[in-house]
Amino acid sequence: MATPPGARGTARPATNHPHPATAGHPTVLTGATVVLPTGTVENGQVTIDGTRITGVAPESAQVIDVTGHYVLPGFVDIHNHGGGGASFTSGSVEDVLKGIHTHRLHGTTTLVASTVTGDMDFLTERAGLLSELAEQGEIAGIHFEGPFISPCRKGAHSEELLRDPDPAEVRKLIDAARGRAKMVTLATELPGGIDSVRLLAEHGVIAAIGHTDATYEQTVEAIDAGATVATHLFNAMPQLGHRSPGPIAALLEDDRITIELIDDGTHLHPAALQLAFHRAGADRVAFITDAMDAAGFGDGRYWLGPLEVEVADGVARLLTDGTIAGSTLTLDRAFKRAVTVDGLSVEDAVQALSATPARLLGMTDTIGSLEPGKYADLLLMDSAYDLKGVMRRGEWVVGPQLG
List active site positions: 290
Annotated binding site: 145, 156, 211, 232, 235-236, 243, 267, 324-326
- Total residues belonging to the chain: 403
Longest Cα–Cα distance of the chain, Å, equals: 66
Strand locations in 257-403 (E): 258-262, 285-288, 300-304, 307-312, 315-318, 378-381, 387-392, 395-398
Report the alpha-carbon distance of residue 21 to residue 38 in Å, rounded. Answer: 26
| 202 alpha-carbon distance from chain centroid | 23
3-state secondary structure string across 378-401: EEEECCCCCEEEEEECCEEEECCC
Identify the three-state secondary structure at position 308. Answer: strand
Pairing mode, if any, of strands 258-262 and 285-288?
Answer: parallel
CA distances from 225 to 189, 191, 214, 333 (A): 12, 14, 15, 35
Distance CA 333, CA 331 (A): 5
* Element of type H or E holding 78: strand 75-80
Q: To 10 degrees, what angle do helices 167-176 and 120-135 make?
A: 40
Question: What residues pair up with 40 in beta bridges, in sequence order?
Answer: 35
CA 159 to chain CA centroid, Å, is: 24
Q: Which amino acid is at 154?
A: K
User: 258: exposed, middle or buried (C-beta count within 10 Å: 0-12, 13-18, 19+)?
Assistant: buried
Bind-site residues for Zn(2+): 145, 211, 232
For the annotated binding site for substrate, the residues are 156, 235-236, 243, 267, 324-326
Query: CB neighbours of 358 closer than 8 A, spacing ≥ 6?
Result: 76, 110, 364, 367, 368, 369
Going by C-beta distance under 8 Å and a sequence separation of 6 or more, which residues neighbour residue 113? 80, 81, 88, 96, 100, 130, 133, 139, 141, 142, 143
